[in-house]
């Protein structure tokens, strides 16, 4: 079996994070229901990913698959493939749990579902606070962060960070926290490099982690009128051919050379290996310049159903309203959706 050796980045608390991880969000269908039918494929692909060398696993309460993720990790530990210390497990606290005491309850719930004694990193999934009934609770994310500092102090987690914060929100957090976040997880891809936000993170020794690293290149997000590059973009294909790599490998390498940790997600084994096989070549200055020209600020992930809630971090679409998907309010976990 082919193996990959994924390098690490040093977080501001001295802990090493693998520079590429395995994303586990399976998504919602056209009716905004969780795609539970793909859970068995996820289990199989994650198991393979750990076998070939992945150690950074990214999940979340709202992903609904913490029980399966934990079962795979514990199975691999039992088999002797990895030790718990080898793994870097990330989960996230959802918007229902933004009161300080609720943060600990959320983390303990994740630990129970994962069947782990600790997680390596827990993130505040969004800066908004929304109840299970869809009510804007308007809880200050600074209060939420104090809950994160508390679970860190109790040893339930090794590191704490945030996701989907904008520049102003991150600056305010840094000005008022006792423990700074070790990372910021946001959408980053060749169309949305978020240079100012990344620069702020770099200046404060905060690792930047990219979700949706392929943007609208992949068929599932290839929206009408979405910008280049696509997988068949001539310039990207030329760069890929020059290095004997695929276009998606070039994209991940580009992010890595910009000091961005990536979380590609796939339930196809060949792509699991392909995504991590990016540490044996270098893009040259011309390559980097060509790819940089695609940065136009286009956002592939735009959850407009959140935009009327306080602390929504992105630009709003004027005169647009969309109801909150019920699946974002209440759910059960696991493939059979029967686990609290």
Residues serving a catalytic function are 63
Q: Is 321 helix (H, G, I), strand (E, B) or coil?
A: coil
Closest to 72 in 3D by CA, of 291, 258, 334, 260? 334
CA distance linking residue 82 with residue 79, whole number of Å: 8
* Pairing assessment for the beta strands 16-18 and 22-23 based on DSSP bridges: unpaired
Collapsed DSSP state (helix, strand, coil) of residue 130: strand
Residue 67: φ, ψ to 5°: -60, -40
Residue with tokens 């068995």: 40
From the list 314, 295, 2, the residue with the least C-alpha distance to 165 is 314
Quick one: residue 198, left, alpha or beta (phi over 0 = left, psi -120 to 50 = alpha)? Answer: alpha
Give the span between the Cα atoms of 313 and 324, in whole angstroms: 16
Diameter of the chain measured on Cα atoms: 56
Find out whether 105 and 95 touch, Cβ atoms under 8 Å. Answer: no
Please give the helix or strand (H or E) that residue 102 lies within, else none.
Answer: helix 100-114
């Amino acid at each position: 079996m082919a193996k990959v050796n994924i390098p690490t980045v040093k977080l501001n608390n001295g802990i090493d994070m693998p520079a590429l991880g395995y994303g586990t969000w399976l998504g919602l269908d056209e009716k905004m229901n969780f795609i539970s039918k793909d859970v068995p494929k996820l289990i199989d692909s994650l198991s393979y990913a750990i076998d070939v060398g992945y150690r950074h696993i990214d999940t979340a309460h709202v992903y609904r698959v913490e029980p399966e993720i934990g079962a795979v990790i514990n199975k691999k530990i039992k088999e002797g493939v990895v030790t718990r210390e080898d793994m870097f497990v990330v989960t996230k606290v959802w918007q229902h749990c933004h009161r300080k005491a609720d943060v600990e309850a959320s983390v303990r719930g994740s630990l129970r579902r994962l069947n782990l004694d600790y997680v390596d990193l827990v993130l505040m999934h969004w800066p908004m606070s929304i109840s299970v009934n869809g009510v804007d609770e308007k809880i200050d994310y600074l209060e939420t962060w104090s809950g994160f500092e508390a679970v860190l102090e109790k040893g339930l987690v090794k590191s704490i960070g945030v996701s989907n914060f904008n520049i102003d929100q991150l600056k305010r957090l840094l000005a008022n926290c006792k423990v700074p976040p070790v990372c910021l997880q946001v959408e980053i891809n060749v169309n949305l490099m978020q240079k100012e936000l990344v620069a702020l993170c770099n200046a404060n020794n905060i690792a930047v982690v990219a979700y949706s690293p392929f943007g609208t290149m992949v068929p599932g997000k290839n929206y009408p009128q979405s910008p280049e590059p696509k997988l068949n973009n001539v310039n990207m294909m030329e760069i890929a051919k020059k290095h004997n790599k695929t276009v998606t490998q070039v994209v991940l390498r580009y992010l890595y050379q910009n000091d961005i940790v990536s979380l590609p997600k796939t339930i196809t084994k060949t792509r699991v290996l392909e995504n991590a096989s990016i540490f044996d070549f270098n893009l040259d200055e011309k390559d980097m310049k060509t790819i940089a020209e695609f940065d136009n600020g286009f956002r592939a992930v735009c959850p407009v159903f959140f935009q009327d809630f306080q602390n929504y971090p992105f630009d709003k679409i004027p005169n647009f309203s969309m109801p909150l998907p019920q699946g974002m309010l209440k759910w059960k976990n696991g493939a059979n959706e029967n686990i609290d």
